[in-house]
Every structure is written in structure tokens, then in C-alpha cells.
Chains A and B, each alone.
Chain A
Amino acid sequence: MAALTEEQALIKDQASSWARDDAPVSKFREMRDSGNLNGFDKGTWESIASMGWAGIIVPEEFDGVEMGYLTFGVVLEELGRQLTASPLLASGLVAASALVLGGSPAQKKEWLPKVAEGAKILTLAVDEDHRHAPEKTALTAEKKGGTFVLNGRKVSVPEAGAADAIIVAARTSGAAGQQEGISLFLVDAKLAGIDLELLKAVDHRGYANVTFSNVEVPADALIGGLDQGASVLDATLDRARAGIAAEMLGTAGQSFDMTLEYLKTRVQFGNVIGSFQGLSHRASVLYTEMEKTRSCVEAALQAIDAGSNDVAQLCSLAKCKAGEFLYNMSNELIQIHGGIGMTDEFDAGLYLKRARTLEAMYGNRAYHRDRFATLAGF
């Protein structure tokens, strides 16, 4: 762990015990089995909101606690351990970041306090095709009098079913593939012309494809400058990447702990299987990777808090490294547990399924390897 402040350490303990006692995997399983298409339990979300976590990065003047991204990461890691499902990342971290970074004073005043207290759920809609590619934004927003008219489709938008408003990346000029010409709009989710197709994804969390057909939004829905949305979008996505990497570290960390426990208790050939080098060495390698992943995740979160100039590199590094570790760890979780790992009754499958959706969000490993290389100048 990074050297945490006393306050951060307290929040970590609080998040850890709350997730373990009040929102454990069994609770997620209940929600899944209930067929809840929102992908989270309302009571769980209310508890999260009541603890103030949705306001961790929201400035105090907008009723947040303004404790920074490392603190948010500490909470997300603990929730990731228990697969605690909620719109906390999508609304409290991602959408709130977009507003903090690019919102007008009026937008901040109207939305941030509600986001911070969890009274409203916001989400960011970026991807339009099979893969994460923000610069390929093609959904159009055409200026018409005092309004913009949105046409297009966003896919796999997290928490869209429960969202009160959607921050939409739209093209106001230029062509798909260009950074220039992207603008962000804060769109009321109930507006006419918005059609939601709720998805039943493999991780049973809330996602929807969202179609915009002649959706008219007022001019003051614009976040940041017209055609200049890419910089706010990039910065927001980097915060999303660091945050989700913290969640992934937690999900993988719990997978590691479950596996280690099994290595210490499962007996075959008259010995606990963790005494066999074929397995213990894999555990040692995974542990080493976990330590390195933690270094990357915490460095990214700390860089955001410090306003460093290498935030983009570190966030790509964190997402990529967390993706690598979670991919390997989730596979080893199943393999080392053997037959039991294949049963739905055991939790391993839930972690494996979640691992792959986390990997696809905000850019997979290939995306970030490419981006890291580009940022490094090759």
C-alpha cells in the first residue's frame, strides 16, 4: 500500500469491513439471481451514498469531500474485492470528473451536489463500436437554433438503465477518427428520442445500448468548449482508467487470496497442494505481479491528485498492468481450484466474468499498449 494518510486509512478500513459485511459477493449473487437489469441493488447504492463515497472527488463547495483519486481508488479496490455492484465508478468518479474538469459553473452547481449525495446517477457514453475508440466518435450533434440535435448510437454504456443523465461524446465537426470536433453534452436521460436497450451482460452488471434519434438538447448542455471536448474527455477517461484499475486490483487481489487459501487447505497426494512447486511457484509469480500492479495503480491515482504531467502514461500503464494481472489471475483462479472452480455455486466464475468486462472498459490492454507507445514517441 501507498503510505496512506490517517483519513485514507480510516476510509479503507470502513470500505473493507462494509463491503465484507454488508455487500459481499453473496449479495451480488442474490441481485443476479433476482433478474435485476439495473445490475445493482438499490439498498446497496443508498448505503454507499450515505457514506459519502460518491462525493470523494467532488469539491467541498459542491457538497463533496474532495479527498482525491487515491482515496477513491482505495474504496474501489475494496468494493472490487467483493464484486460490490453499484454506479459508484460510473457516476461518482467518471461523470463527476467530466463535470469537475469541464462543467460550467451552472452545470456544476446543479449536478455535482446531487452526484455527491447519490441522489442522481450520471454516466459517460463513449464507445460506439465493438472496441473502445473515443476518437472514432461519430454520433452527431448538429446546431439548430438554440439547441443541438443528437443522432447516433452508444453501446454498452455502464449504468445507463439507472442513469438520470448521460454525458455523451458527440461529433460537432470533423470526421470520425479526428480528435478535433468532439464535444461533450450533458443529456437528460428522459428526453424524447432516447431509446435504451438494456443488456444482459456476462457479468450481470448494468449496461445498455443507447440510441439517440433527433434528441434535442439546449445549448447550455455543452460541457467544455464546442469541438474541444477531446481534452476533457481524455482527462476524464484517464481518471476512469485509474479508478477501474483500482477496482481490478481489488477483484484480482481477492481472486489471489481465494486461490492462496485453497492452496493451503486442499489436500492431494497426502499434502496440501500449495507444497507442490508446480503450484507454489505460480502463486509466487502472481504475488510478484500483484505487487507491481499495485505500484502502477497507486502511482496513477497519485499522479492525478498531484497534477503531474505524466498522468496519461501512468493511467494507460495502470489499466494495462491491472488488465494483465487480472486476466492471468482470473484464469489461475479457475485452474487452481479445478472442478470446484467450474461450478456456479462457487464464486470463481463471477470473478472471471467480471474480469473480462472490466478489461474491455475504457480501453483493453492492446489499446493501452498502443497508447503508451504513442505517448512515448514510437
Chain B
Amino acid sequence: MADNTEAFRVEVKAWLDENFPKSLAGKAGEVMGHDKMDPKHTEAVEWAKRLGAKGWGTPTWPSEYGGGGLTQQEAGILNEEIDAAGAFNPLWRTTGMGITMVGPTILEYGTEEQKLRHIPRICRGEVFWSLGYSEPNAGSDLASLACKAEDKGDYWLVNGQKTWTSGADVSDWCGVLVRTDFDAPKRDGISFLMMDMHQPGIETRPIQLIGGASPFCETFLNDARAEKNEMLGELNAGWSVGKRLLQYERASQTGNNAGLGRSKQKSLKDLATEYVGLDDDGKLLDADLRSRLSTYMMESKSHQLTIERITAEARGNAKVSAAASILKNSASLVGQNRAELALEIMGHSGLGWEGEGYDEEELAAVRSWLSGKATSIYGGSFEIQNNIIAKNILGLPETAQRG
């Protein structure tokens, strides 16, 4: 066993050595900062193509659909070696939600024909997927969604509006939750449609957020069409498909995305040492901050240890589960706390919006603090996760609001 893993590691190293352009080492942030990879960045485009052709952008997916066909353990080795080489997996970005959510859900619910149609294109990094879930009047109460799909014989006719659609403006395909039965109880009249975004019936409008970026869109569907064979799961059974997909989303938001490339973010300790300073005993000059920083580091460590423990308990096969809600809430709290502390540590310098007088790192800290507020809202808010924990893990009765 140990010999096999060692042999595999050697194979991975050799492949990376031959295929990963050294000039891209450590440049994950630069290359993957954009939703779509800059087509002029020919080296990065070529690297993504090679990784996709090898199937190693989706290492554990079945090889018959273009995945790497690796075991969890081998995938772990691959991620370690990718990190060690300063490499990264650009497909995480260039496929939008393809790798983290849509792919696993198609693999679980899709027909053979749907798998063959969609999975290889995700593996090769050719399609960017977005998701049409929320609507202006269906946020936390997602099941009340109203976007309508009508059976027109040889296609579905879709009308309605979606919002908070991440990357809709650059996406090629979108997984859309639609209402196919208005008479059934609200969760029983929902279906999951896979829609081609390149059609006249779909318009997108980016929403500018408090951090200045526009990662989300409003998406308008006016007489848009979906092919009949693009329904994922049964008619009116889309709620369970959609919920399953959200579990994959939570699992991807737990701070355990190996292979994304190491961030070069300075540690809070280094920031504090630089901005606040240490006394002669080597202690941070601000005693109150020191205590809170220590608490933060412990929280962060306990979060990491929890990911490791849950993974180990699942014997390396951490299926998405209710534990994802725990990790999602923990991850958003830890991340937001980190961002707040970074700002506090930087003081006046941590309050810049743009321009001279602030360095790049300071400006990035502010933007990241702002955008990070979304982590406890999207993918099921902090409160919705607590509902899920209460119901699914603790067995407490559903809360008063029906849904």
C-alpha cells in the first residue's frame, strides 16, 4: 500500500514537472482572480487544458466521464503535490459551480445520457456553470420560488426572475429551480432544469455589492427554453435534487478546498507584529487584542481539527452530511472574525477604499472584510444552518414557520 502511494506520488511529481509551467508557480491568485481565465494568458489556458485532459482537475470523478478516477487518498497526494509545486487547479474557477456542486449532483441524479453530455465538459474545464436558485421573493424561504416552467411538448418554456446568481453573466449553463406544479405543496412542485445560457430568452444584470465587486447577477427569464432531456431528477422532485446540491455547496465552503492554490495572505500574527508591535518580552503591545487574537487562532485551529476529525471518522470518505452545516457556520464565523481582526490590526491603514496612501494588502483586507459578510448569508444563511442542525442532527421539531 505504502509502496503504491509512493509510486503514485512519483508519477504525479513527474507529470507536474512536465506539464505545469514553472512560470505560473505561486500565481494562483493572479490567474484565478477572474471568473473566466484571461484568454491572452496562454500559459494558464494551456495548463488548464492539460490538467483537464488528464482528468486531474476532477481527480475523484469516474474516468469513464473524463474524471481522474483516483481514490480519495490518491487525490490527497495529488493536492499535496500541486501545492508543493506552487501549482493550482484553475478548473475550480473556470467551471464556475461545475466542480463543486453541479458535477457531483449530475453524477448522483443524472441519466447516463446527461452524465455523458455534461460531465466530460466540466472535467475538461470547457463550461462555466451558474445556479438559479434564489428569487427576489424566495431567499431563506427558497421553496416558495415562483419561476415557472411549462411543458410545451418538445421543450420547457421558462418565465421568471432569479437573483444572486453567481457568475450568471459569464456562465454557459445554469441549473435552475423552477415551479412545474403550482397546486402541489410548495416543495413538491419544483423541478431542476439545466439551461443553456446562450439564448435570447435569458438576460443577466450584475449586482454591485458593498465590497465593490459584482459576483452576483439578477437573471431574467422571458420565454426562455430548456430541452426536454435537461431535467435533472424526476418531474416535481427538484427540491431534493436542489437540496442535495446545496449540501455539496456547504461541503465546498468548509475551508477544505485543497488544490485551490496556497494563498499568500500574511498571518494575523505577522500583521499584528508589524502594525502593533511587540514589547521587550515578545508580547503584543495591545493586551486586549492579544487575547482576542489568541482566541481567534484557537477557533481557527479547532475548525481545522474538526474538518480533519470528521474526514478521519468517515475513513477518508467524507460524504456530504449534516456535519456540513456545522462546518459552514464555523467557517463563516472564523473567516469573518479573521477579517475584522485584520482591519483592527491595520488601524487607519485598514480603512482604505482605493488609491494612494494604502498599500495593496491593506486595500485587499478591506475588500475581503466586506465581501466576507456574504459567507454567513449565501448557501443557506447562518440561521438556516442552525435550523438544519436543530432538525436533522438534534431531532428538534420544525420551527413554527411552515416550509
Interface residues of A (CB under 8 A from B): 1-3, 260, 263-264, 271-272, 274-277, 280-281, 283-285, 287-288, 291-296, 298-299, 317, 320-321, 366, 369-370, 372-374, 376-378
Contacts and interface: CB of A to CB of B under 8 A. Distances in A.
A3 B302 contact: no
Contact of B387 (A3, A280, A287): A280
A74 to B, nearest CB: 14
Given A320-B298, A378-B282, A292 B330 contact: yes
B329 A288 contact: yes
The A contact surface, by secondary structure, is: helix
A373 B390 contact: no
Given A370-B291, A372-B298, A292 B303 contact: yes
A287 B393 contact: yes
B124 to A, nearest CB: 37
A219 B387 CA distance: 63
Contacts of B389: 284, 287-288
Interface string B390-403: 10011111111000
Contacts of B302: 292-293, 295-296, 317, 321
Nearest to B276: A378
Contacts of A274: 390, 394, 396-397
Given A274-B397, A280-B387, A2 B312 contact: yes
A369 B291 contact: yes
Contacts of A292: 299, 302-303, 305-306, 330
Interface of B: 269, 272-273, 278, 282-284, 290-291, 293-295, 297-299, 301-303, 305-306, 308-309, 312-313, 315, 323, 326, 329-330, 383, 385-387, 389-390, 393-400
B309 A2 contact: yes
Nearest to B397: A275
Nearest to A280: B390
Contact of A260 (B282, B301, B306, B394): B394
Contact of A285 (B291, B386, B395, B400): B386
B315 A373 contact: no
A355 B330 CA distance: 24
Given A263-B396, A287-B393, A288-B326, A281 B272 contact: no
A298 B331 CA distance: 20
Given A281-B386, A378-B282, A295 B298 contact: no
7 contacts: A2-B309, A275-B397, A287-B389, A317-B302, A369-B295, A373-B293, A373-B294
A378 B298 contact: no
Q: Which of A291, A299, A366 has the most CB of B within 10 A?
A: A291
Given A291-B323, A378-B284, 7 more contacts: A3-B313, A293-B302, A296-B305, A317-B298, A317-B302, A370-B294, A372-B297
